[in-house]
A = this chain, B = another copy of it.
Amino acid sequence: MHANYLGGSTMPRQIVLAARPSGWPAPDNFTLVEADSQPLEEGQIRVRNQFMSVDPYMRGRMNDVESYVPPFQIGQPLDGGAVGEVVESRSDAFSPGDLVLHGLGWRDEAVLDAARARKVAPIEGLPNSAFLAVLGMTSLTAYVGLLDMASFKEGDAVFISGAAGAVGSIAGQIAKLKGASRVVGSAGSAEKVEYLRSIGFDAAFNYKDAPVAEQLKDAAPDGIDVYFDNVGADHLEAAIGSLRNFGRVAMCGAIAVYNATEPPAAPRNLALAVGKRLTLRGFIVTDHMDRMTAMVTEISEWLREGKLSYQETVVDGLENAPEAFLGMLRGENTGKMIVRL
């Protein structure tokens, strides 16, 4: 089975970290290498990856800083969410042909302990990439951030930055579906602003057009109750200015900061959090896997009913994964950025 899959002489390829970026990463921070196919140990499975995820948090892992996930190592393959088909198994839990979700992306072929993979059932009408996005960590991030971290409740006015991104576009739709009084999104192009309106955002603006604080005040003149932060810095400052008393911020990411070489001077108005009684909560989705079932149940229902739409930007080929990652950091994707392998 294994030899067959490899088609004889083809060696599995992977992307390794060639050098740590300072500021914005570039193609030469990555190298595509071929690697000997690893023999399976007892309890392991071999997976032919079909899709892999590129996500903003990976930028942080390229720095040599201990964080909630260990940093990538120079000369070692990158990793991240992936979905693929089991092609060889030395575990009773999996058989060849099974579709599995796991954490060894950035490579054609993954060898891992069976315990680190989760079997998923393909869903008619959805590509398998959905398990990386609308039925996976992307939607879980949106769901947990909005409902648990920001304690969203019916009637709240919500602002979402990076709203045309994978997480933001789902978060905004969940807010609408759960009775938000108003959902405002920011994004980085006119096309994305149009996309946000098309999926039900009440207002959307291009943050490059004018200061965020001004545009947010126009878009939500009565203020906001919840801010879902994917950007940080000036977006967060604008949100703090617009938040009403007892407002909540889910701090999901800070893409404005990831590639900065100087720390941002914003938000400069954080002291307003005292008088407004604001709560700001940073979170990492992997702490909240216990919410996966609830999320999948609700999101599946909305998908079936045609109430929730989602978009993927798909790039083909492992060799183009670094470019897909860089493009995602530059905001070239609408919805989830996916690499098809």
Residues of A at the B interface (CB closer than 8 Å) are 60, 67-68, 232-233, 236, 245, 251-254, 257, 263-265, 267-284, 287
Contact = CB atoms under 8 A, between A and B. Distances in A.
Nearest to A269: B263
Contact of A267 (B270, B275, B281): B270
B245 A275 contact: no
Nearest to A253: B274
A270 B60 CA distance: 15
Contacts of A60: 275
Contacts of A267: 270
A267 B280 CA distance: 14
Nearest to A236: B270
Contacts of A282: 272-279
A287 B268 CA distance: 25
Given A257-B271, A271-B257, A279 B280 contact: yes
A265 B234 CA distance: 12
B252 A274 contact: yes
Which of A232, A257, A268 has the most C-beta atoms of chain B within 10 angstroms of its own C-beta? Answer: A268
Contact of A273 (B273, B276, B280): B280
A254 B272 CA distance: 9
B68 A245 contact: yes
B271 A277 contact: no
A272 B283 CA distance: 10
Given A233-B271, A263-B268, A279-B282, 11 more contacts: A251-B271, A251-B274, A253-B274, A263-B269, A267-B270, A273-B280, A273-B282, A275-B282, A277-B287, A279-B279, A280-B280
Given A245-B68, A265-B265, A254 B271 contact: yes
Complex A-B, nearest 6 residue pairs according to Cβ-Cβ distance, in ascending order: A273-B282, A254-B271, A263-B268, A274-B282, A265-B265, A257-B271
A314 B87 CA distance: 79
A60 B271 CA distance: 11
